[in-house]
Every structure is written in structure tokens, then in C-alpha cells.
């Protein structure tokens, strides 16, 4: 199967439709699929449900899709760096489903593993638990969380081969593997496509069985919060 595409737009061709659910990798601006996000913006696909740790910043990452009002609902853990996100939520334009970070990661991983749901203690006794099934195990109360199965996964890796095997670099690994697992179709962008067989099998973070399309991209790698020490 040919997996390498010449551009983000071509890799997404035929996959996008209004109202779809997209799982996006990244944490803050670290390891985000910036080329694929820009291509979705340019495609104009709307009424999107996006599962991602956060929504980028006002003018970068998923914030680009908020600017164009293409996102209808966010399934997220943290939204504190995006003023536009806050404004749209408070005005009723944007729906939010908050998840603790570990729960969100596991919901994605479970979706990729074919597990429809799981029980967790996280969120018991809070608004997170409202409307969810409660069950006791060994005297402890747990809530049922449903897995996420997205129509499309968009992720960003450091290196990949032509079969889709991916390696992520340090903290840029973050939500990318579980996000990549839970999509019916996964499109990945990488900094470098390397020859088949050049990746150490023991160091592959996401096997190519999960990755359907692949591009090599140029990445800005913007820093979300720059902190420096005084001279």
C-alpha cells in the first residue's frame, strides 16, 4: 500500500467531511500536526468534533480552526492558553467536553485497542462524573468512560519509514500514539521519512499498522511559553 503523499492536502483528500470527529496529537504546541491542521483549515471542513489535549493558541495549531469557526465541539483536558477558545465557549458557540488528561489518553488508547469502555476512579464525585455509570470494585467507586473512535487521526512524529512505522522525539511523543491509534484512518506528518529497515524495531513507538497516510513536512515548532533566565 502506498502511504507516502506529497502534501498535507493530498494526504487528506477524500477523508474530510462536515461533522466528522478528529483525534489530534500534541500537547500545547509540542508535537502538533501543524501542516495537517492548516490543510483542514484550507479545506473548509466544518462542524468538527476534535479530541485533543488542548486547542493550541489563538493563531497557531488548532486555534486556526477556532478562528475560522470550523470546530463545533472540543474534547479536551486543558484550554487555558487560548483566549478565542474561552470567548467561543462563554458565548455558546463552542461545546466543550472536559476530560482529565489520563482519562482522555486512555479513551483514545482504548478506542484503538477495540475496548469500548473502562472504569476509572478519576473524576468520581465531581462534575466529570455527572450522567456516567457508577460501579463499585473492592469497595471503591468508579465511573464508566467510553472509548473514543475518531473518523480521522492527525498526528506528528519525528521519523517514519514508508510503511508508516513512527518514532517520536522526547516529549513530542505525548498524546500522539493514542491519538494515532483511535482513528479509523490515521494521517501522520513527520520531519523525516527514512528508508525501510533503518528504524530499530525496539524503538518504534507506533507501528505502521495504525498509519494509513504519511507526509514529510516543514515545521515551525513554535514555543508556547518562552522562559529564560535573567543574565
Is 222 contained in some domain? Answer: no
Task: Using DSSP bridges, classify how beta strands 152-161 and 186-194 pair: parallel, antiparallel or unpaired.
Answer: parallel
Is 21 contained in some domain? Answer: yes
- Separation of alpha carbons 213 and 205, rounded Å: 17
Is 89 contained in some domain? Answer: yes
Q: How many domains is the chain partitioned into structurally?
A: 1
pLDDT per residue over 177-206, tens digit each?
Answer: 999 999 999 999 999 999 999 999 999 999
Kindly report the pTM of this predicted structure: 0.94
The two counts, helices (H) then strands (E), for the chain are: 6, 11
Is 1 contained in some domain? Answer: no
Give the DSSP letter string of 168-220: --GGGGTTHHHHHHTBSSEEEEEEEEE-TT-S-GGG-SB-GGG--EEEE----
Is 225 contained in some domain? Answer: no
> Residue 14's domain spans which residues?
8-216
Is 224 contained in some domain? Answer: no
Whether residue 142 is predicted with pLDDT greater than 90 in this model: the reply is yes
Q: Which of 42, 46, 1, 3 is nearest to 22 (CA)?
A: 46
Is 122 contained in some domain? Answer: yes
Q: What is the pLDDT of residue 80?
A: 72
CATH number of the domain to which 43 belongs: 3.40.1080.10
pLDDT per residue over 87-118, tens digit each?
Answer: 999 999 999 999 999 999 999 999 999 999 99
Is 150 contained in some domain? Answer: yes
Task: Let me know: does 18 contact 43? Beta carbons within 8 Å.
Answer: no
Amino acid at each position: 500500500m502506498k502511504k507516502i503523499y506529497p502534501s498535507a492536502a493530498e494526504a487528506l483528500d477524500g477523508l474530510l467531511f462536515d461533522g466528522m470527529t478528529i483525534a489530534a496529537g500534541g500537547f500545547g504546541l509540542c508535537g502538533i500536526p501543524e501542516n495537517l491542521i492548516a490543510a483542514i483549515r484550507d479545506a473548509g471542513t466544518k462542524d468538527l468534533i476534535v479530541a485533543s489535549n488542548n486547542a493550541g493558541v489563538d493563531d497557531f495549531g488548532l486555534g486556526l480552526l477556532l478562528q475560522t469557526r470550523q470546530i463545533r465541539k472540543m474534547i479536551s483536558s486543558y484550554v487555558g492558553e487560548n483566549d478565542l477558545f474561552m470567548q467561543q465557549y462563554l458565548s455558546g458557540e463552542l461545546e466543550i467536553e472536559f476530560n482529565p488528561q489520563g482519562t482522555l489518553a486512555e479513551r483514545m488508547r482504548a478506542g484503538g485497542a477495540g475496548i469500548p469502555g473502562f472504569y476509572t476512579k478519576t473524576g468520581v464525585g465531581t462534575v466529570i462524573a455527572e450522567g456516567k455509570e457508577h460501579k463499585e470494585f473492592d469497595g471503591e467507586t468508579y465511573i464508566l468512560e467510553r472509548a473514543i473512535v475518531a473518523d480521522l487521526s492527525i498526528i506528528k512524529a519525528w521519523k517514519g519509514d514508508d510503511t508508516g512505522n513512527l518514532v517520536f522525539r522526547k516529549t513530542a511523543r505525548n498524546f500522539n500514539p493514542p491519538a494515532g491509534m483511535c482513528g479509523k484512518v490515521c494521517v501522520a506528518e513527520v520531519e523525516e521519512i527514512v528508508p525501510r529497515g533503518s528504524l530499530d524495531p525496539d524503538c518504534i513507538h507506533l507501528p505502521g499498522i495504525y498509519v494509513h497516510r504519511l507526509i514529510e513536512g516543514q515545521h515551525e515548532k513554535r514555543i508556547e511559553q518562552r522562559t529564560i533566565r535573567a543574565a
